[in-house]
A and B are shown apart, each in its own frame.
Chain A
Amino acid sequence: MVEKIKIIVNEDKCYLCGGCAGVCPSLAIKVSSSKWEFFQDKCISCKICINACPVGALDFEPLEG
């Protein structure tokens, strides 16, 4: 079983480039011109977004349960 995770952004590092949203297979990230948003219900915990971010602005926290 894949460990369930929550993706978190370091807003000070993020450039709102939209890359993480583009690689996310399930539309769990939305990047508008002023904010980064995460939708837990859509996330499949694949961590693709974390590696893809060119500046390392993303991290994860394990979800309980």
Chain B
Amino acid sequence: MTEIMKYDVVVVGAGIAGPIVARNVAREGYSVLLVDKKPAIGAPKQCAEGINISIFERYDIPYDKRFINREIYGARIYSPSGYELEIKYKKVSGVILERKVFDKMLAFYAARSGADVLSRTEVEDVIRENGKIVGVKAKHEGEPVEIYGDIIVAADGVESTIARKAGINTYAPPHEFDSAYEYEMLIDGFDPDLIHLWFGNDVAPRGYVWVFPKDEDRANVGIGINSDNPKTAKYYLDKWLKENNIPSKKLLEINVGVVPVGGFLKELAKENVVVVGDAARQVNPMHGGGMAEAMKAGTIASKWIVKALEEENLELLKNYTTEWWEKDGKRLERVLKIRKAVEKLNDEDLDVFIEVLSGTDAEKIAEGNYTEVIKVLLKHPKVLMSARRISLLKELL
């Protein structure tokens, strides 16, 4: 027999976006169900686990050592020919999480705030009555369940099946995805207080190789490349490890995934369906970080879900689309433009830019003042000699 359930809000997916929405809405006293197809929320992870320190205060998440593996003070960037640029802060700038614990704790905070949480519950389709979506069909531990809800939240990650089943077009062209492959492994010789990034068209086409330290001698070592590349991400990472004489026989985990890095969803809410996080392609196109963006979008979405429930007016959900596009959509579109310009850089350009910047005041870069950085580059003779480089940099301004 099919079990029937009824909630104000049904949230599909307990990654990052889902639990934030579930927690925020449950806190306001509405009934919420958060479901995930995984038997253990958070596992397997599909992430390098790096995130900015600011999220804890901004999104009201405890700074809990149970899910913070390591504090990070900056980054070191390596050019194709080996020029290095180090950006080091005096204070902690980011952390490397343990996502298996983090995701589960976010779901736990949602549960503590009043939401129901069901792991191993896979949503298969939406339920329509008289053409309107009234809930979702799922399987909980293999048994069919029908979950009715006034509002359905698609926080189901890159697959974004639920939004599409609800008739929302989440299509993005293949070039707007990254294929990612990563080992959690033992590795020596890298400053464990910094994240390390390698760029180069032979190293990682369109993307980069990363080492995100988790202990003194353990790290997430991964790669992201354009997903329309005929070679696999695994091919490029194994090649990099070999060329750099990094032993790869101490692999604790292998993580695989596809990251949407462009083609942000235009319509984030349609009737009573709301799309958040990777499902809405809300990821930074430059570095592929999606956790903070998922939290941001989840916060805006939950605000409008609460308002819509309070005023019994689903039309208000459209304000989530408007507010996200005004604030974050505009910003991410700019980042996408920059990524498209950076994509045109050849290895020699990357060498020149990183060489020039490594000799300048890293504080400016550390402050994230990119306009200043580009101005510094534009003054350098090696840049001024090339009309191509000047025009590429001007595209970034």
Contact = CB atoms under 8 A, between A and B. Distances in A.
A19 B258 contact: yes
Contacts of B227: 19, 23, 51-52
A51 B225 CA distance: 11
B122 A22 contact: no
Interface residues of B, number: 35
B192 interface: no
A15 B179 contact: no
B254 interface: yes
Contacts of B161: 21, 27, 30
Interface string A17-37: 111111101010011110000
Given A30-B161, A31-B159, A51 B228 contact: yes
A21 B319 CA distance: 29
A52 B174 contact: yes
A8 B39 CA distance: 26
Contacts of B179: 19, 51-54
Given A17-B257, A51-B174, A32 B234 contact: no
Interface string A46-64: 0010011111100000000
A32 to B, nearest CB: 6
Given A15-B256, A17-B256, A17-B258, A54 B122 contact: no
Given A22-B260, A33-B38, A51-B229, A17 B46 contact: yes
A48 B233 CA distance: 15
A37 to B, nearest CB: 11
Given A51-B229, A54-B233, A54-B258, A23 B157 contact: no
A7 to B, nearest CB: 15
Task: Rank and list the top 9 A-B pairs by shortest CB-CB distance, nearest first.
Answer: A19-B258, A22-B158, A54-B233, A52-B227, A15-B256, A54-B179, A18-B159, A54-B181, A17-B256
Interface of A: 15, 17-23, 25, 27, 30-33, 48, 51-56
Interface of B: 37-39, 44, 46, 120, 122, 157-161, 164-165, 171, 174, 177, 179-181, 227-230, 232-235, 254-258, 260, 278
